[in-house]
Amino acid sequence: MDEVVASAPGKVVLFGEHAVVYGHPAIAASIAQRTTVTLRTTEEPGVHIGRARVDVERHPHLATMIAHLWDETSSPGLDLSVTSDVPRGAGLGSSAAFAVASAVALRAAGGRRVDPSTGAWLEGYASDGSEAALFHGGHGVRRRDEEGEHRFGQDALSLEEASLLGHVAEAMSQDGRASPMDTLTSAYGGLVLLSNRVEREDAWIMRRTMPMGDAQRSWELHRLEGLRFEEGLSLVVGHTGINAPTTNMVAGVAERRAEDPGIDETMDAIGALVHRGMEALLAGDAEAVGRAMTENHLLLRRLGVSHPALETLVSAALSTSLGAKLTGAGGGGCMIALTRDAKATSEAIELAGGRTWITSFGTPGAQLEACPEGGLINPE
């Protein structure tokens, strides 16, 4: 049977979660755990997950994405199925991975093809060159072409498009408050840096803007490539087992911020710390990276997004690691520890009640795993 299969990785945040929603810098990395979306044609019109037809009421984010990428009136019906080893509600970007993998799959199903010998996209798609054609509601993107020119893209890259549509979906599910961090990391893979300014010309890929409340947020998006990590350095993820929806955690910070001016000061301090973390990463100084992670955790605690179970796991990890912090939205979910002794750190976290895994980070981004020639509209 003809099918389109796309996958995208989860992520960990090394520095800067929550503050990044308000335009402060952050650094995230893709992880080995991935979400895979499979599309198959069905007799039933529309797009279905299991037996349920995707509609605006039940699945507003996915329905919006489908409206952009799949013409339900003239194309065959689709069955969308998902497999994932990114735990949900754990701060590891499961919803972003789903959104990005879905966007890649739907675009490919609509006829965009891949050259099997090179893996390169054969562009069957072109926007009319205006941002508004693809990007509704003030979402915008600016990118650099191959010659280094900064311009708006007629030849929108798939990853760019997937990260953008994924971001729109995330923003819809988080009451309009979402940074592009998770979807950017999931789409591009590797290490990504977001900032309110261009931090490094050679690493900059695009600007993303989004209206949030009465302000217009804007993030300069970078890929940190070619970083060298010392041999034997690992990241251990510890899961508290507590499910904490990102939407609630982000809304909680927004409420506290409205009442307490100290929250903005804490976010400024996080921003400064992210710069230190970035310098340490670029210098390959693992000790300094670890120290900055632990300091970031203390500031996240001050934002009110930690949880007693996270505190227990972070404390347990510290004696055998270079640094540890909660990762993602907090309130439960996961923590990470940077360590030269993954076994000891992982054992310490498990003894304190966490489920652990040792992860490589900076893994590949979204990938099209299978696609018939012509997608699912005119498969040959």
> Binding residues for ligand MEV, per CB under 6 A?
13, 17-18, 20-21, 91, 93, 178-179, 181-182, 246, 250, 328-329
CB of 321 to ligand MEV, least distance (A): 21
Query: Whose Cβ is closer to ligand MEV: residue 16's or residue 110's?
Result: 16
CB of 369 to ligand MEV, least distance (A): 25
Instruction: Count Cβ atoms within 10 A of the Cβ of residue 6 and give its class: 0-12 exposed, 13-18 middle, 19 or more buried.
Output: buried
CB of 223 to ligand MEV, least distance (A): 17
Query: Whose Cβ is closer to ligand MEV: residue 39's or residue 244's?
Result: 244
Query: Whose Cβ is closer to ligand MEV: residue 309's or residue 329's?
Result: 329
Do residues 29 and 11 lie in contact, with contact meaning Cβ atoms separated by under 8 Å? yes
CB of 18 to ligand MEV, least distance (A): 5
Do residues 194 and 219 lie in contact, with contact meaning Cβ atoms separated by under 8 Å? yes
DSSP letter string over 113-167? EE-TTT--EE------S-HHHH--TT-EEEEE-TTS-EE--SS--HHHHHHHHHH
Do residues 349 and 324 lie in contact, with contact meaning Cβ atoms separated by under 8 Å? no
Buried b (16+ CB within 10 A) or exposed e, 25-56: bbbbbbbebbbbbbbbbeeeebbbeeeebbee
Query: Whose Cβ is closer to ligand MEV: residue 110's or residue 365's?
Result: 365
CB of 91 to ligand MEV, least distance (A): 6
Q: Which of 235, 367, 211, 372 is nearest to 290 (CA)?
A: 235
Write out the two tokens for 186. 């999931």
CB of 66 to ligand MEV, least distance (A): 22
CB of 242 to ligand MEV, least distance (A): 15
CB of 355 to ligand MEV, least distance (A): 19
Please report, to the nearest 10 degrees, the dihedral formed by the alpha carbons of residues 104, 110, 113, 119 taken in order: 10
Instruction: Find the residue with minimal CB distance to ligand MEV.
Output: 179
Do residues 362 and 192 lie in contact, with contact meaning Cβ atoms separated by under 8 Å? no
Residue 178 has φ and ψ, to the nearest 5°, of: -150, 135
Do residues 267 and 24 lie in contact, with contact meaning Cβ atoms separated by under 8 Å? yes
Query: Whose Cβ is closer to ligand MEV: residue 14's or residue 20's?
Result: 20
Do residues 93 and 26 lie in contact, with contact meaning Cβ atoms separated by under 8 Å? no
Q: Angle CA(240)–CA(243)–CA(246) in degrees, nearest 5?
A: 115
For residue 143, what are the β-bridge partners? 151, 206
Query: Whose Cβ is closer to ligand MEV: residue 40's or residue 301's?
Result: 301
Query: Whose Cβ is closer to ligand MEV: residue 162's or residue 371's?
Result: 162
Write out the two tokens for 298. 């203390």
Query: Whose Cβ is closer to ligand MEV: residue 8's or residue 13's?
Result: 13
CB of 95 to ligand MEV, least distance (A): 9
Integer distance in angstroms from the first to the last C-alpha of the chain? 12
Three-state DSSP class for residue 92: coil
Query: Whose Cβ is closer to ligand MEV: residue 93's or residue 166's?
Result: 93
